[in-house]
Structure 1
Amino acid sequence: MTLPALDARLEAVLRLIRADIHADIGSDHAHLPVALLRRGHIRRGVIVELNPGPLAHARRNVALAGLCGQLEVRHGNGLDPLAPGEVPSVSMTGMGALTMRGILERGAARQVRPDAVTVQPNDDPRSLRDWALGAGYHLRAERLASGHWTYPVLRFERAEGPDPAYEGLPRDAARRYGPLLLREGDALLRRQVHADVTRLTPLAAPGRPAALELATAQAALTWLEAQPSLDAGVER
């Protein structure tokens, strides 16, 4: 069976994952783990689904793909179906960042702390970056993918000490927009920062939350515009 091609956001997630055993949490249609296995990014996978409809959908697609021996579909909430140390790599896509953070924190309370976590939240990923900073994970890669809106994709890995990704950057801007994306001068990020400055400027009366957000966007813009290697070929 040939499943539909991955969209840009799931393709971006796939490119950041390489593991012997990997779990996709809230997989829905199971397209991502099937593609991971078929392209050789993983050797074996676990698919976790809570709701009956997506659970049946995932089981059906895994069976139709002929991968039941390599992809196991489990019913459960978040990381609950995983034993401590069982799966070194997990992914979550298409959820809110706070939902993902809650899943990771509840897993850690059960000693389920994967070595690598790849996430694609549907909103501001700042809470996930903050979680990683406090939970002993470093940001190893991040991407932006185009779709209905711009989707952030991040990969964290367990590591000791302060995360070097944030060194030398304006902290709030790095937490909001991504330290690695700021360093790379990603074109999608530049457009996002410019759009945020334009949107927030008329809203940022003193004392309003928009004033703090505008200051963060302006700090990101100032940092980006100070990087001489980012000027060529970027639309302003």
Structure 2
Amino acid sequence: MNPVLDARLEAVLELVQAQVHADIGSDHAHLPIRILRAGRASRCIAVELNPGPLAHSRRSAVRSGLGERLEVREGNGFDPLHAGEVDSASMTGMGTGTIVGVLQRAGDKLPAALVLQPNDSPRSIRQWACASGYHLMAERLMPGYWAYPVLRLERALGNDPAYVGVPLRAALRYGPHLLREQSPLLRQHIQEDLLRLTPLAAPGRNAYGELATAQEALAWLDDRRAEQNRQ
């Protein structure tokens, strides 16, 4: 059994490298199975709260033939784990607010590395990381029903160097590494935000600030492109 992953989960897989990894909200446990088969962890713990997905995870674990290398635990967020038990964890397919809430409740169970794939703007995750001693080590933006961000965070001291040299407001919204990479998908994502926000923006409304952020991000990308063309 070697489950097929979509583009966003393949990106998560590529950003995992650990001895013991936990997949929080694992659903069918397809991601941890692939992590183990790809040699990106020696052992995985799949955590699931809801009865249906929990049953799916347990069936997948048995069928995988991975034995004690893959364990399924019932529980909410990091609750079923022990402090220091895992050195890496992933959360995928959740809203940013849900992910940040799980991280805030994890306490000393938080591992040194996190790979996160939210289903909406990851700004709150980036803000949490900056305030919680995690640096943004890598980012991906993957095509799908919409543009899916994937982030790898690692515990580190001091200010995150990823944000040096990029406009902070735009970097928190769209990602400092992604802005530097200037991918066509990011540019398309920003342009779609501009189209969506322009008719909604008025002083005092949330869309007004969001539109200004999108304009700042696109202007920064245009400046970088012009600078490269001059070289």
- TM-score range with shorter-chain normalisation? over 0.9
Correspondences of 1:1-236 after superposition (within 5 Å):
1-3=1-3, 5-108=4-107, 111-228=108-225
Distance 1:230 1:213 in 2: 26
Distance 1:6 1:37 in 2: 14
**Structure whose residues are more often helix by fraction:** 2
Distance 1:215 1:60 in 2: 48
Deviations 1:105-146 (A, max 9, x none): 1112xx112100000011111110011000000000010111
Specify the code of the residue in structure 1 equivalent to 2:208: A
Displacement of 1:207 after TM fit?
2.3
Q: Which runs of 5+ in 2 are unaligned?
A: none
Distance 1:170 1:216 in 2: 9
Q: TM-score, normalised by structure 1?
A: 0.94
Q: Which runs of 5+ in 1 are unaligned?
A: none
Specify the code of the residue in structure 1 equivalent to 2:157: E
Give the ranges of 4+ consecutive aligned residues of structure 1 lying more than 6 Å apart after TM superposition.
229-232
Displacement of 1:230 after TM fit?
8.7
| Pairwise CA RMSD | 1.4
Assess if the C-alpha contact under 8 Å between 2:23 and 2:32 holds in 1: yes
Specify the code of the residue in structure 2 equivalent to 1:70: R
Specify the code of the residue in structure 2 equivalent to 1:144: L
Displacement of 1:228 after TM fit?
2.9
Displacement of 1:229 after TM fit?
7.4
The alignment of Structure 1 onto Structure 2 pairs a total of residues equal to 229
Q: TM-score, normalised by structure 2?
A: 0.96
Assess if the C-alpha contact under 8 Å between 2:2 and 2:33 holds in 1: no
* Paired residue secondary structure (1:226): helix
Percent identity over paired residues: 60
